[in-house]
Amino acid sequence: MTTIHVHNRINTLFAEKKSPILSVYCTAGFPHLEDTVPVLEALQDSGVDMVEIGMPFSDPIADGQIIQESSTQALLSGMTTELLFAQLGNVRSRVQMPLVLMGYVNPVLQYGIERFAASCAEVGIDGVILPDLPMEVFVKEWQPIFQRYNLHHILLVTPQTSDARIAMLDEVSSGFLYAVSSAGTTGGALSMDDARTTYFERLQRLRREKKIANHIMIGFGIHDKASFDAACEYADGAIIGSAFVKALSGTSPEQIQSKVQGFISGLR
Amino acid sequence: MTTPSLTTASTHYGVSESGYYGDFGGAFVPEMLYPNVEHLRSVYLDIIGESSFQAEFAALLRDYVGRPTPLYFAQRLSDFYKTRIYLKREDLNHTGAHKINNTLGQILLAKRLGKKRIIAETGAGQHGVATATVCALMGLECVVYMGAVDIERQKPNVERMKLLGASVVAAKSGSQTLKDATNEAMRDWITNPDNTHYIIGSVVGPHPYPDMVARFQSVISEEIMRQLEEKEGRTYPDYVLACVGGGSNAVGAFYHFLDDARVRLVALEAAGKGVDSGFSAATTALGKPGVLHGSRTFLMQTPDGQVVEPFSISAGLDYPGIGPIHAHLFSAGRAEFHAVTDDEAMQAGKFLARTEGIIPALETAHALAYLEKLGAKPDEIVVVNLSGRGDKDLQTYIGGVQERPH
């Protein structure tokens, strides 16, 4: 686990809250371009512990149809990395929970790695998830910059990841370790079969044996209360993405607060 | 009979141990794909270096594909352009293009990896047909992803794939063309990591794909060397011309000349309606470095880093990036890149049909169109890689622009 010092809200969250942690993914600029911050506020008011803000990309290969379509819609509305940081400019006067940016490597490269890290620090982003940025490249070219800006970089592990590589990924990852529930893109449905149980128990064992130092959050396929509860049996918490994005689809700006409240209360 | 030198690599322009060509390449894949890509990386050189692999590959190239393909001296074309033009007849391969050199190599690799299921992406359908063909040959399940728009405009190839036993799945996201078909194939591989091998059709994708595909296509330049020696008493031409979408036929034609400074390597990109028209696929002219489909390369993109939809009359060149080796050859100045418009390509294709009795694929026609501007001297030798035949483009040819007056 890479140590990020100073006050990082992700560290504080895991230090202070032991019960299952609920993290929710939302697409920036979705369902409408100006909805980014209102959605964050509604999520906080609903008692969500952490949010991953999806930075839309034209070719999101790790995502399923729902997140891809929300990304396309956001891009058509005019969402950009620049605009997202502008929207988040005052977010910390209103939102206190940890905020993580999740996206793909190319838009960040075009924005500039150092400039991106600086913008994250400026608006109060606590961590970043870039699924198509290989660990090896991150360590060489990105890590020193992220550390300078007190920014967590959260890595993924999957059922196909070997124990040895999990240990390596855990060493580099900080904030938490993102456990992808099963082979597949986002938007599937978690099925708690034998393979799932074996994988989750493997992660638990590695954590017990201190081969995983990070907290573990499970994502991909977590879509309702049952799958959230099932995942939380084995981890510190779980992440809901596509199901939430789908629920928001077609919601008018006026309905966002109630829609989000309704969705989140269904998980408790 | 040919014995492809699968184990030869360029000292200056080959891939590095870490999977890079200069600043380009790498393996930018999500962790879900890491085990597959890493396993492939760790075994591919050993497998294709095995004598049993090479023997099987060479025998199938000869008996099934029909190699070596002729290096044909085009007399009337040479007279017209006042130089010595040879056509490397990849259009005479089984399935009608160079694509099968790669799919055959990869299916033999997939079998040795114990994979039971093959997936592929395709634009015009040429790579899809070549993949469906080798899957039928080896009795493996085959799923081809193809943009919904391309399925509409390339119906005969869709029917060919189905006849060969493949399932054709429509990619309905984004622009519904080659880029989106590639996204869908990668998603399939993420979902089926254990039993499936992904046969990428060009020198794109994460390392080791660009190098692997380049080696399987290198048989083209190996034969050119030997055939030129027979015909001209020298093993190298003065120029090699090839079209570039992802760039697999160009790499194949360039491969054994990469370190030979006597050979000018000329890559022709699709300008579409014109480089500055907003309807173009001229990646080196319009792109800048970025990451797509697993590698860092030149990429057509917005200032925000969103991938821009390319445009070309030829579906095979309709791709917003180029293989990382081409990005390196371009940056290092080893190959020259020029853009050819739809109209120029169409005219050149029709001209070859009338002059030599060969109807080329519209992709290939981009390379032929540059002969006029090349400025080769009468005693110089020009090799054009005739990467595919034009039957699939008949409708476009018939409905297209007027032919050149002369």
CA distances from residue A57 to A28, A101, A138, A200, B291 in whole angstroms, order as listed: 11, 13, 19, 30, 12
Gap between the Cα atoms of A19 and A29, Å rounded: 31
Closest to A185 (Cβ–Cβ): which among B190, B193, B289? Answer: B190
For chain B, say whether A20 makes contact (Cβ under 8 Å): no
For chain B, say whether A33 makes contact (Cβ under 8 Å): no
Whether residue A61 and residue B293 make contact (CB cut-off 8 A), yes or no, is yes
Whether residue A81 and residue B192 make contact (CB cut-off 8 A), yes or no, is no
pLDDT for the residue A3: 67
Say what the ipTM of the complex is. Answer: 0.95
Among residues 247-266 of chain A, which lie with CB inside 8 Å of chain B?
Answer: none
CA distances from residue B16 to A208, A226, A235, B340 in whole angstroms, order as listed: 39, 48, 40, 32
Whether residue A107 and residue B187 make contact (CB cut-off 8 A), yes or no, is no
- Mean pLDDT (chain B) is 94
Beta-carbon contacts below 8 Å between A and B: 107
Whether residue B190 and residue A61 make contact (CB cut-off 8 A), yes or no, is yes
Question: In tens digits, what is the pLDDT along chain A, a chain of 268 residues?
Answer: 666 655 799 999 999 998 799 999 999 999 999 999 999 999 999 999 999 999 999 999 999 999 999 999 999 999 999 999 999 999 999 999 999 999 999 999 999 999 999 999 999 999 999 999 999 999 999 999 999 999 999 999 999 999 999 999 999 999 999 999 999 999 999 989 999 999 999 999 999 999 999 999 999 999 999 999 999 999 999 999 999 999 999 999 999 999 999 999 999 8
> Measured in whole angstroms, how far is the alpha carbon of residue B175 from the centre of its chain?
21
Alpha carbon distance, N-terminus to C-terminus of chain B: 42
Residue range B213-222, pLDDT digits in tens: 999 999 999 9
Q: Is the pLDDT of residue B404 over 50?
A: no
Closest to B190 (Cβ–Cβ): which among A72, A80, A183? Answer: A183
- The residues pairing with B242 across neighbouring beta strands, listed in sequence order, are B267
Identify the contact set of chain B against chain A, taking CB-CB distances under 8 A: 26-32, 34-36, 173-174, 179-180, 183, 186-187, 190-194, 289-294, 299, 301, 303-307
Two tokens at B131?
Answer: 């993949």
Q: Is the pLDDT of residue B154 over 70?
A: yes
**Closest to A217 in 3D by CA, of A65, A14, A6, A2:** A14
Name every chain A residue with its beta carbon within 8 A of the beta carbon of B306.
57-58, 75, 107
**Closest to B110 in 3D by CA, of B182, B35, B197:** B197
Sequence-ordered strand ranges (E) for A168-210 = 177-180
Local structure of A214: helix, strand or coil = coil
Closest to A185 (Cβ–Cβ): which among B191, B293, B301? Answer: B191
For chain B, say whether A180 makes contact (Cβ under 8 Å): yes
Cis peptide before B70 (omega within 30 of 0): no
Distance between B182 CA and the closest CA of chain A, angstroms: 9
Question: Tokens 């054009």 — which residue?
Answer: B384
Gap between the Cα atoms of A120 and A76, Å rounded: 24
Gap between the Cα atoms of B119 and B187, Å rounded: 11
- Which pairing describes strands B295-299 and B288-292: parallel, antiparallel, or unpaired? antiparallel
With bands split at pLDDT 50, 70 and 90, how would you rate the model's confidence at B336? very high
Name every chain A residue with its beta carbon within 8 A of the beta carbon of B293.
59, 61
CA distances from residue B151 to A115, A198, B127, B130, B186 in whole angstroms, order as listed: 42, 41, 13, 16, 19
**Closest to A223 in 3D by CA, of A88, A24, A1:** A24
Using an 8 Å Cβ cutoff, are B260 and B236 in contact?
A: yes
Name every chain B residue with its beta carbon within 8 A of the beta carbon of A160.
32, 34-36, 193-194
- What chain A residue is nearest to B194 in terms of C-alpha separation? A160
Two tokens at B367?
Answer: 């390379």
Whether residue B305 and residue A180 make contact (CB cut-off 8 A), yes or no, is no
| 3-class DSSP string for A81-127 | HHHHHHHHHHHHHCCCCCEEEECCHHHHHHHCHHHHHHHHHHHCCCE
Q: Is the pLDDT of residue B402 over 50?
A: no
pLDDT for the residue A6: 57
pLDDT for the residue B79: 98
Cβ neighbours for B118, distance < 8 A, ≥ 6 positions apart: B107, B110, B131, B135, B140, B141, B142, B143, B196, B197, B198, B199
Mean pLDDT of B333-348: 98
Q: Is the pLDDT of residue B307 over 70?
A: yes
Percent of chain B scoring above 90 in pLDDT = 88
Give Dmax over CA atoms of chain A in angstroms: 49
Question: Tokens 């080696």 — which residue?
Answer: B215
Using an 8 Å Cβ cutoff, are B382 and B239 in contact?
A: yes
Gap between the Cα atoms of A66 and B177, Å rounded: 19
- What chain A residue is nearest to B187 in terms of C-alpha separation? A61
- What chain B residue is nearest to A73 in terms of C-alpha separation? B174
Q: Is the pLDDT of residue B116 over 90?
A: yes
- The residues pairing with A226 across neighbouring beta strands, listed in sequence order, are none
Gap between the Cα atoms of B373 and B200, Å rounded: 33
Two tokens at B91?
Answer: 């259009």
Two tokens at A238?
Answer: 């779980």
Give the active site residues of B.
Answer: 99, 121, 387
Cis peptide before B4 (omega within 30 of 0): no
Gap between the Cα atoms of B77 and B74, Å rounded: 5
Task: Work out the number of other CB atoms within 10 angstroms of the CB of residue B252.
Answer: 30
- What chain B residue is nearest to A160 in terms of C-alpha separation? B35
Closest to A131 (Cβ–Cβ): which among B31, B183, B304? Answer: B31
Catalytic residue among A52, A126, A170, A236: A52
Mean pLDDT of B357-382: 98
Gap between the Cα atoms of A90 and B6, Å rounded: 58
Higher pLDDT, B290 or A183: B290
Whether residue B30 and residue A61 make contact (CB cut-off 8 A), yes or no, is yes
Looking at 3.40.30.10, 2.40.50.180, 3.40.220.10, 3.20.20.70, the CATH number of the domain A20-263 comes to: 3.20.20.70
Closest to A111 (Cβ–Cβ): which among B35, B192, B305? Answer: B305
Cis peptide before B68 (omega within 30 of 0): yes
- What chain B residue is nearest to A71 in terms of C-alpha separation? B174
Length of chain A equals: 268
For chain B, say whether A129 makes contact (Cβ under 8 Å): no
Gap between the Cα atoms of B97 and B129, Å rounded: 10
Catalytic residue at A41? no
Name every chain B residue with its beta carbon within 8 A of the beta carbon of A108.
305
- What chain B residue is nearest to A133 in terms of C-alpha separation? B28
Whether residue A108 and residue B305 make contact (CB cut-off 8 A), yes or no, is yes
Question: Tokens 């979902």 — which residue?
Answer: B191
Two tokens at A67?
Answer: 């997140």
Gap between the Cα atoms of A157 and B333, Å rounded: 40
Gap between the Cα atoms of B102 and B113, Å rounded: 16
Gap between the Cα atoms of B236 and B329, Å rounded: 19
For chain B, say whether A131 makes contact (Cβ under 8 Å): yes
Give the sheet arrangement for strand B167-171, strand by strand: B167-171, B141-147, B117-122, B196-198
DSSP 8-state code for residue B240: E
**Closest to B328 in 3D by CA, of B300, B302, B295, B303:** B295
Catalytic residue among A16, A34, A49, A63: A63
Residue range B181-192, pLDDT digits in tens: 999 999 999 999
